[in-house]
Amino acid sequence: MDTALHPKLLSRLACPIHRTSLAERDNKLCCEFGHNYPIVCGVPVLLDEGPNTLWVAERSLQRARCPVSNDPYHLDTLGISDREREQLREQLPGSQSPVDPVVAYLVTATNGIAYKGLVGNLPEYPIPSLRLPVATHHNHTLLDIGCNWGRWCIAAAHKGYVPIGIDPSLGAVFAAKRLADQLGVEAYFVVGDARTLPFAAGTLDVAFSYSVIQHFSRKDAAAAIQEIGRVLKPNGISLVQLPMAAGVRCLYHQARRRFREGSGFEVRYWSIPSVRDLFSAAVGPTKFTVDCFFGIGLQYSDIRLMPPLYRMVARMSEVLRKTSSVVTPLNYVADSIYVHSEKRFAELLPRP
């Protein structure tokens, strides 16, 4: 099996520590300062030993350096419960499901509680609708930060983008790779950290992230957003989803934890002014549109897969979302918003 990295991917990669170019050598990526990163079945694992945002990163790095031959799915790097992992391990041998079994067990972790009843029994892939225009040229790249099993990468490919997915979970990235192969989609995948994106500066057209940065501390979120600004090309676009502190459902969850700041993997809630300041400084001019109301992650395009109660909620959310394009104050009470930023070329020029 050819494990060489495609030039479209290799030409954009950089050492996550020194930002220097990488050379492929003996199934590893090497930088000029002596750092070596393993390649596992064509997937580069560009993680370092520093503190990680998620425990799966450390496990992924261990598995990449010492691959377990009898576990090609790398199940111990998946962010699911031990019980679900055992159920998945029993289901994998001889599975005839049209849906990748790993994806079927990751669906709640990525899509939310509306999909809880489908864990292990997903009838089809819930591919969402990407709220971006069709790509303007055939090599228009989109970086999906925290891609997990690749749903947004597939959505991006449907809009004509060449998706590059990055995630700290080796098992999730392998699931995304299998999905892209199954659907005949051109996509590339990397195991890495959002705070130290392993890409050269100014090499990507679009940066996208959904339901990921919301789990970061304020410091880590700021680092990830700074990285987005660094890797985007001039006039590149950033589209990032974040939960809002004033949303009805978000207020309920904050009240449950007595409005303390989140810790660990808990969700952090944001205000529009704080988000505007952060993205404007790190990326460029910033505006907002509503993602959804009454929850985080409700995708109207998946309504056929939801139980009746969530279908009703999704319909109400969609009505309000469309209304918000005219009644813009609704942005401030949405539960989930998209942050649109543009890296303006003029802002990159040296000041007199």
| Res 345: pLDDT | 66
pLDDT tens for residues 61-109?
999 988 766 788 999 999 999 999 999 999 888 778 899 999 999 999 9
Residue 248 domain flag:
yes
| CA distances to 10, 13, 28, 130, 248 from 166, in Å | 14, 12, 18, 17, 31
| Res 69: pLDDT | 67
| Res 200: pLDDT | 98
pLDDT tens for residues 105-131?
999 999 998 899 999 999 999 999 999
* Res 42 pLDDT > 90: yes
Residue 205 domain flag:
yes
Q: Kindly compute the dihedral angle of the four CA atoms of residues 49, 52, 57, 58, in this order, to the nearest 10 degrees.
A: 50
Q: Which two tokens stand for residue 148?
A: 């997990």
| 186: DSSP letter | -
* Res 351 pLDDT > 50: no
Which whole number is the average pLDDT over 238-255?
A: 97
The Cα–Cα gap between 9 and 220 comes to 25
| Res 136: pLDDT | 87
| Res 1: pLDDT | 40
Residue 154: pLDDT band with limits 50, 70, 90 = very high
The Cα–Cα gap between 315 and 292 comes to 10
Residue 89 domain flag:
no
Residue 113 domain flag:
no
| Res 2: pLDDT | 47
| Res 319: pLDDT | 98
Residue 58 domain flag:
no
Domain that holds residue 228: 141-348
The Cα–Cα gap between 47 and 173 comes to 14
Residue 100 domain flag:
no
Q: Which two tokens stand for residue 149?
A: 């099993």
Residue 47 domain flag:
no
Nearest alpha carbon to residue 74 among 172, 145, 166, 148:
172
CB 248 within 8 A of CB 305: no
Which whole number is the average pLDDT over 320-342?
A: 96
Which whole number is the average pLDDT over 198-212?
A: 98
pLDDT tens for residues 165-191?
999 999 999 999 999 999 999 999 999
Residue 58: pLDDT band with limits 50, 70, 90 = very high
Nearest alpha carbon to residue 250 among 159, 316, 335:
335
CB neighbours of residue 235 within 10 Å: 13
pLDDT tens for residues 268-320?
999 999 999 999 999 999 999 999 999 999 999 999 999 999 999 999 999 99
* Res 3 pLDDT > 70: no
Residue 160: pLDDT band with limits 50, 70, 90 = very high
Residue 340: pLDDT band with limits 50, 70, 90 = very high
Q: Which two tokens stand for residue 214?
A: 């919301």
Per the structure, the count of domains in the chain is 1
The 3-state DSSP class for residue 203 equals coil
* Res 247 pLDDT > 50: yes
Residue 268 domain flag:
yes
CATH number (domain holding residue 227):
3.40.50.150
Q: How far apart are the first and last CA of the chain?
A: 54
Name residue 143's beta-bridge partners.
164, 207
pLDDT exceeding 70 applies to what percent of the chain? 96
CB 270 within 8 A of CB 244: yes
| Res 352: pLDDT | 41
Mean per-residue pLDDT of the chain: 93
What does residue 291 show for φ and ψ, rounded to 5 degrees?
Answer: -90, -55
